[in-house]
A and B are shown apart, each in its own frame.
Chain A
Amino acid sequence: MATVSYPASVPREGHVFPAFALIGWRWISRNPASTVAPILLPFIFLYFLFLISPGLFPLEVIGAMLFTTQNIGSWVLGDSATWRIECALQDLFVASPMGKVRYLFGIAVSNLIAAAPALVVLAVVLSFAVGHPVPWTSWAILFGALVVVWVLFSAIGVAMSSRLTSQREIWPVGNLTFTVLGMLSPLYYPLSYLPPLWQQAALFFPTTYAAILAQGAFGLAPASTGSMTIDAVLLLVLAVLGTAVALSLYRWRGA
């Protein structure tokens, strides 16, 4: 293998945040509906859930935060597929020092910007809905769980997008994947509400542990330090495995 000798003017690595933060910010500043939808949709469902089961409202708010974060994966899928299939823009980034992991983070960051207002509003609602003082450690646990879910589902979204061949596949594939994944985990209610078989199946999903952790941290479900530690470890392990699988399936270069 020849050693690399680059001209001085050629950067060896790309930058994620300066580029994709601008891309994400410009999207929401020029398309206000792109922020309204992420804010409005969780509240529409929250309202519905509040009507049919008012006693679980704080838990449902945490569920909405987790689902909104997880749904970033769906937007990542949409953006990534559109930029590749419709605009051939991914080619510009492949043929550059950016690299696929940076590109994934870039799209994930640009869509996090769109989701951030919704998450902030939901966090404010949660602080009122909980009804008792919540230590900063609980917020830190929730934040950590959201970050893990964001990374995992963004990786899933971009991996799936790399296998799509048509724009028309974006909406149904995204809808199927992320809605089903969201439903398999008990985001909006305690795990114990599910039938036993479903409970067992839900334990294979990282978002189940994210939900259990957050519910426990806010005192909305019984949890001990020990059980929360186990849940955190399981969340991390499953998320790392899931992300690794997604990255390996992510087709950066055409086959």
Chain B
Amino acid sequence: MALPFALPNFRGAASFSATEARVQLHEGIAVFTSMITQFVVLIFVWVLARSILPVAILGAIIFSMFTLGQRVLNEAAYVRVDHKLNELYLASPLTPESYFLGIAVGVLLAYLGPILILVAIAVLWVAFTPLLAVELVATSLAVWLFSSSMGYVLSTLFRDMRAIWSYASILYNLFGVLPPVFYPVGLFPTALRPIALVMPPSAAAGLLQDALRPGVLSSSDVVLAAVALAVESLVMFGVALLWARRTAQER
């Protein structure tokens, strides 16, 4: 039976990812400064509320994975708006979905170093269990997938880099700092907790907090967070693939 849509073709994604990672690594200062907000928040927590530092460190890792989407947004928009280099790549055997995935994976590879520093800090400050370690990897990847996909889709909507900075900083701080990512989910208003648990970064952070101290979330909250995170990540990824194909030819 023929499908009503073409399956994704990731031809060229691996080599384009490597290219993108090399491009990103040329901007050493950008890679180095990608953790600034996280460290600022950790300093706030260390000065003002040291008891929640383990939660904040785990939240910093999730936030770091989340802000990779902002890097994807900036990169894809910059290449398109300022250099029009996307046209070179799209008028080639590289498929549009490979172009998107290449940027997303390339950014992940380039920024892995600072994230691993945070992981090392987490190993020192957080009492890791096997469950927590597995959940950390799984939720991090899910958040990255969601955020990178969202970032790529948003990048196609802008014509001016200055506008991007404004919108991107609202979006990523709204999702990443306001909900309980850096602080315990118990401090978030109870009535609004379901909303927080369906937002990918705070869903991930909530799951990690529960793995760190079982019972922080009820069973239904755990299921809600896990399902929301998985579904939203996969759906957003699918949207990004379709959107990449659609925008490969500007209308």
Residues of A within 8 A of B (CB): 27, 31, 33-34, 36-37, 40-41, 44-45, 47-49, 51-53, 56, 78-79, 82, 86, 167-169, 171-173, 175-176, 179-180, 182-183, 188-189, 193-194
Contacts and interface: CB of A to CB of B under 8 A. Distances in A.
B223 interface: no
B125 interface: no
A52 B49 contact: yes
B183 to A, nearest CB: 6
Interface of B: 27, 29-30, 32-34, 36-37, 40-41, 43-45, 47-49, 52, 74, 78, 82, 161-163, 165-167, 169-170, 173-174, 177-178, 182-183, 187-188
Contacts of A168: 27, 30, 78
A134 B132 CA distance: 50
Given A41-B169, A52-B49, 11 more contacts: A33-B170, A34-B163, A40-B173, A48-B183, A175-B36, A176-B33, A182-B40, A188-B44, A189-B47, A193-B48, A194-B47
Contact of A171 (B48, B165, B170): B165
Contacts of A56: 48
Contacts of A172: 27, 29-30, 32-34
Contacts of A47: 178
B183 A36 contact: no
A78 B162 contact: yes
A169 B162 CA distance: 14
A45 B187 CA distance: 15
A37 B48 contact: no
A228 B170 CA distance: 36
